[in-house]
Amino acid sequence: MSLPRLPLTVIGGYLGAGKTTLINRLLAEEHGQRLLVLVNDFGAINIDAALIAAEGGDTLELTNGCVCCTMAAGFYIALGQALDRRPRPDHLLIEASGIADPAAIANAAKAEPELSYAGVITLFDALNGPALLQDARIAPQIEQQIRAADLLLITKGQTPDPQLVAQLEAIGAPAPAALPAEGPLAPLLFELMPRPKAPAPVPHPAYVRWQHRSDRVLTRAGLEALLATRPDGLYRLKGFVLTDAGPMELQLVGRHRELRPATAEATALVGLGLKDRVSPEEIEAWFAAAEC
Amino acid sequence: MSDITLFRAKKIITMDPNLPQATHVAVRDGWILAVGDADCAAGWGDGTVDDSLADSVLMPGFIEGHSHLMAGGIWKYAYAGYHDRIDPEGKLWKGVTTAEEVIAAMKAHAETLPEGAPVIGWGLDPIFLTGERLSRHHLDQVASDRPVAIMFSSFHVLCANSRALEMASYTRESNVEGVLKDASGEPTGELQEMAAMFPVLRRLDFAFETITGDPAAIRAFGAVAQRAGVTTLTDLYASMNPGDVEKLQSITGDDSFPARLVPVVGAVGLDPVTTATEAQALRAQSTEKLRLGRIKLMTDGSIQGWTARVKWPGYIGGQPNGIWNTPPEVLDTQVMEYHKAGIHLDIHVNGDEASEAALDAIEKAQRAHPWPGARHVLQHCQLMGIDQFERCVELGVCCNIFANHIWYFGDQHVAMTVGEDRARRMDALRSALDTGVHVTIHSDAPVTPLAPLFSAWVAVNRRTMSGRVLGAAQCVSVEEALHAVTLGAAYSMRLDREMGSIETGKRADFAVLGDDPTAIDPMAIKDVPVRGTVLGGRVQLL
């Protein structure tokens, strides 16, 4: 398998939570990545006509290299076609339907060897969401969407109500935070490590970025203990860790982690979180406490 | 003036109360010209007497209101289910009861395939297999150098051999929900739910759309109907992609296609306003043998999968209530838009909370846009009680009741889902009829075999697989059951002007039977031989 694995991120959340708005922002952003988005229907996709390079059937191709496809023929058919697409996109984003369990979709990324898991982002509408949690008929499915989240973003509110945040945390959401009203959303999806020759990512005030490079060697058990106590607000962490059992490659998204043997000469990590929920100092203090 | 053909039969059961029985039916241009005795069409001039049905019993062609095209195409794979089944070519597949029999059936199928090709089976029901649970070790005995996989009857689970697991990169390291492991930590081969099955299905080139989209699969579906005496049947969750209408028109339009096909487009997640417009456009492309323009909506899941939405007190095992595939508030909007646009709806409802949500949605739509003849159909209706049937009558809603469930799943419903008291009144055909609901019954093929005489047998006898009678109070008469699979179904599909009974002015669509189901032991109805069908006056014997 010579092609790189295709990272898959799922956007979940009930109807009206803002999934399409988020997708529209990602498609229009200048991130230089070939993003493939699978949506339920084109109706709400709102792209400046000047950005549309080609349009036909169930596919919309943009001049910036992004592509949007509908899943009219069925999700797994669309997923197979996404994997067969050449050149392979840099990232796959799936819009879950309003009542879907995003974890069930993201499970495909864990199962399929040509995919890699890149997180479940659940959106929660601060205006209408609380009433849905009171509706006995639909609340269990909304709660499952909340529990499935690696990142829970609150939409349609300026500063989230602390009571609501506490309620969402009680249901099982890790570090609920407001969706950044402006600025790029690309840091939530794309490669954290700058590619060779690519410009270094421009830091944006909505995000916290943390980097570490050293020759520290952790014990295997120490690494496990460290990962188990990671800050809630640290959404993504990627890189290499030297351990007494050999170098390991680490990839962490929310509560999902992959750890595999690798070749590396240094412990080198990049982390990312939302400013509202985590600080570089908090991450630094956490990592410094690791047992060598 | 066209030719008149006068068919002579041993007996004709007409479903027309004005003349319940006859011996002759005259046909012109595919329509019934007259019904009665040898002289019934005498006033219309000379005709040809056709004696090919003279020792057969004719009934109105059966109408299957809930089946799926997959019931045809799935037969390109090996059948590995517990019950005997007959494929579209008429070959009997004996049910399998042990892992050894599964292996033998798959091996025999492998020999019919090109060397190295994936060996795929379907229909397995592990609860009926004696001995240890089927694993990759069993399937490795089918072949170790080529992939082997068997889909379970639910289509939510499969079992794969070691080669197929290797192709999908499943190992003891795999940490994927739905990939089952044995005591030593190795994958057993059993993969649950689509996410875990996807890597195997993709590499074995098993795609559900080719099972329904291939011309051969569509023709096989027609053959399945013909074997069951069915002249009109639904594909109750179709998708219509560009080119599909032309393809279906061409295949069904051929004289060799033995039935009328009613694809009902599944509209979960689709925008109802644009989809309603598309449905109207589809309706205009209907032909005599292809009826387009209907829409299917979903509500909940299945009772035996504990995904149906059931009212208090819920599942007896304490399982959480099921899931909505469409939440009630969205259903309200969908039903309103389609109803407003004059689109006939089929709505999947298994649990009683789901049927209530569907009735609520229809009531709102009916108040906003009164449409007395809408005849929307609730599909499955498994836990509906008299209170909900009364609402159906008030709203002009038809019920297509999943009678076959009593036999296939009745014992499980008693033991594992809703318990004896509610299982007794499941699929309550008697209550529905007494309340005055227009009802039909169905197979949901390929979930259970497409066979209206079997469905009628279940409705009459309500036997389960263990042999007991489940809910004797809900049994119906043979005549009522036969009405349900003919005129009842035609009414629910708004086709009763053309079909459902053998009377002058309707289409000459008949089931050709080897015996009279009204004159035998009701326990034998399911065994009445089907000799074929007549479609638009064209005789199609098996």
pLDDT (0 to 100) of residue A290: 81
Residues B152 and B233 reside in one and the same domain: no
Residues B192 and B220 reside in one and the same domain: no
Residues B376 and B236 reside in one and the same domain: yes
Looking at this predicted complex, what is its ipTM? Answer: 0.89
Residues A62 and A54: beta-carbon distance below 8 Å: no
B171/A contact by beta carbon, under 8 A:
no
Smallest CA–CA separation between B270 and chain A, in Å?
Answer: 7
Which CATH number goes with the domain that contains B217?
3.20.20.140
C-alpha to C-alpha distance for B238 and B261, rounded to whole angstroms:
11
Residues B424 and B411: beta-carbon distance below 8 Å: no
Following DSSP, what letter does each residue of A11-60 receive, concatenated? EE--TTSSHHHHHHHHHHS-----EEEEES-GGG----GGGEEEEETTEE
Within 8 A by CB and 6+ apart from B520, the residues are B528
Which chain B residues touch A99 with a CB distance below 8 Å?
323-327, 330
Q: Please write the tens of the pLDDT for every residue from A80-125.
A: 999 999 999 999 999 998 888 999 999 999 999 999 999 999 999 9
Which chain B residues touch A57 with a CB distance below 8 Å?
242
C-alpha to C-alpha distance for A28 and A32, rounded to whole angstroms:
11
pLDDT (0 to 100) of residue B20: 97
How are beta strands A256-261 and A248-253 bridged, if at all?
antiparallel
For A44, which residue in chain B has the nearest alpha carbon? B271
> Which 3 state secondary structure label does DSSP give B42?
helix
CB contact under 8 A, A113 and B199: yes
pLDDT (0 to 100) of residue A159: 82
Homologous superfamily of the A207-288 domain (CATH)? CobW-like, C-terminal domain (3.30.1220.10)
DSSP B416: I
Cis geometry, peptide bond prior to residue B446 (ω within 30 degrees of 0): yes
Residue B38 domain-assigned (yes or no): no
Which chain A residues touch B271 with a CB distance below 8 Å?
41, 43
For A260, which residue in chain B has the nearest alpha carbon? B173
C-alpha to C-alpha distance for A80 and B108, rounded to whole angstroms:
31
pLDDT (0 to 100) of residue B440: 98
Among the partner residues B241, B270, B324, nearest to A41 by beta-carbon distance: B270
Residue B11 domain-assigned (yes or no): no
Here the tokens at position B382 are 């498994």
Residues B332 and B294 reside in one and the same domain: yes
Which chain A residues touch B208 with a CB distance below 8 Å?
74, 76-77
Residues B242 and B115 reside in one and the same domain: no
Tokens 């795929």 sit at which residue?
B120
Portions of chain A given CATH number 3.30.1220.10: 207-288
Which chain B residues touch A76 with a CB distance below 8 Å?
194, 198, 201, 208
Residues B489 and B403 reside in one and the same domain: yes
Say what the alpha-carbon torsion angle A278, A284, A286, A288 is, to the nearest 10 degrees.
180
pLDDT (0 to 100) of residue B347: 98
Within 8 A by CB and 6+ apart from B250, the residues are none
Residue B97 domain-assigned (yes or no): yes
Portions of chain A given CATH number 3.40.50.300: 6-188
Among the partner residues B209, B241, B324, nearest to A138 by beta-carbon distance: B324
Residue A55 carries which side chain, given as an amino acid letter?
E
Which of B151, B181, B207 delimits the end of a domain?
B207
Domain ranges, residue B174:
76-207
CB contact under 8 A, B330 and A15: yes
pLDDT band at A58 (very low <50, low <70, confident <90, very high): confident
Within 8 A by CB and 6+ apart from B358, the residues are B297, B299, B331, B335, B347, B349, B378
CB contact under 8 A, B327 and A43: no
Residue B391 domain-assigned (yes or no): yes
Here the tokens at position B360 are 């609520």
Here the tokens at position B195 are 């996410």
Pick from B496, B491, B405: which is nearest to B442 by CA?
Answer: B405
Smallest CA–CA separation between A212 and chain B, in Å?
Answer: 29
CB contact under 8 A, A80 and B326: no
pLDDT (0 to 100) of residue A196: 55
Residue B454 parent element (H or E): helix B452-461
Residue B502 domain-assigned (yes or no): yes
Within 8 A by CB and 6+ apart from A108, the residues are A8, A76, A79, A115, B194, B195, B198
Query: How confident is the prediction along chain B (542 residues), in pLDDT tens digits per residue?
Result: 569 999 999 999 999 999 999 999 999 999 999 999 999 999 999 999 999 999 999 999 999 999 999 999 999 999 999 999 999 999 999 999 999 999 999 999 999 999 999 999 999 988 788 888 899 999 999 999 999 999 998 888 999 999 999 999 999 989 899 999 999 999 999 999 899 999 999 999 998 777 888 899 999 999 999 999 999 999 999 988 888 999 999 999 999 999 999 999 999 888 899 999 999 999 999 999 999 999 999 999 999 989 999 999 999 999 999 989 898 989 999 999 999 999 999 999 999 999 999 999 999 999 999 999 999 999 999 999 999 999 999 999 999 999 999 999 999 999 999 999 999 999 999 999 999 999 999 999 999 999 999 999 999 999 999 999 999 999 999 999 999 999 999 999 999 999 999 999 999 999 999 999 999 999 999 999 999 999 999 999 99
Smallest CA–CA separation between A6 and chain B, in Å?
Answer: 14
> What does R_g of chain B's alpha carbons equal in angstroms?
24
Which chain A residues touch B242 with a CB distance below 8 Å?
57
C-alpha to C-alpha distance for B230 and B512, rounded to whole angstroms:
10
B192/A contact by beta carbon, under 8 A:
no
Looking at the DSSP bridge assignments, the partners of residue A124 are A154
CB contact under 8 A, A107 and B193: yes
Collect all residues from A whose CB is shorter than 8 A from any CB in B.
Answer: 15, 40-41, 43, 57, 71-74, 76-77, 79-80, 83, 97-99, 101, 104-105, 107-108, 110-113, 137-138, 140-141
C-alpha to C-alpha distance for B436 and B389, rounded to whole angstroms:
8
Residue B365 parent element (H or E): helix B352-368
Among the partner residues B199, B241, B324, nearest to A112 by beta-carbon distance: B199
Residue B438 domain-assigned (yes or no): yes
pLDDT band at A202 (very low <50, low <70, confident <90, very high): low
B353/A contact by beta carbon, under 8 A:
yes
Residues B417 and B526 reside in one and the same domain: yes
Which chain B residues touch A71 with a CB distance below 8 Å?
269
Which CATH number goes with the domain that contains B104?
3.10.310.70
**Extended strands (E) in chain A:** 6-12, 35-39, 52-56, 59-62, 67-70, 91-95, 115-125, 151-155, 177-178, 207-214, 217-218, 234-243, 248-253, 256-261, 267-274
C-alpha to C-alpha distance for B75 and B157, rounded to whole angstroms:
18
For B166, which residue in chain A has the nearest alpha carbon? A113
For B242, which residue in chain A has the nearest alpha carbon? A57
Residues B191 and B225 reside in one and the same domain: no
Residues B248 and B131 reside in one and the same domain: no
CB contact under 8 A, A41 and B239: no
User: A6-188 belongs to which CATH class?
Assistant: alpha beta
CB contact under 8 A, A104 and B326: no
Per DSSP, helices labelled H in B464-509 are: 478-483, 489-492
Residues B513 and B466 reside in one and the same domain: yes
Residues B305 and B294 reside in one and the same domain: yes
**CB neighbourhood size of A287 (10 A):** 22
Q: Is residue A266 scored above 60 in pLDDT? A: yes
Here the tokens at position A128 are 């209408």
Looking at the DSSP bridge assignments, the partners of residue B158 are B151, B191
Residues B216 and B163 reside in one and the same domain: no
pLDDT band at A192 (very low <50, low <70, confident <90, very high): low
B144/A contact by beta carbon, under 8 A:
no
Within 8 A by CB and 6+ apart from B46, the residues are B4
> Which 3 state secondary structure label does DSSP give B430?
helix
Cis geometry, peptide bond prior to residue A231 (ω within 30 degrees of 0): no
> What does R_g of chain A's alpha carbons equal in angstroms?
19
Among the partner residues A71, A73, A99, nearest to B327 by beta-carbon distance: A99
Domain count along chain B: 2
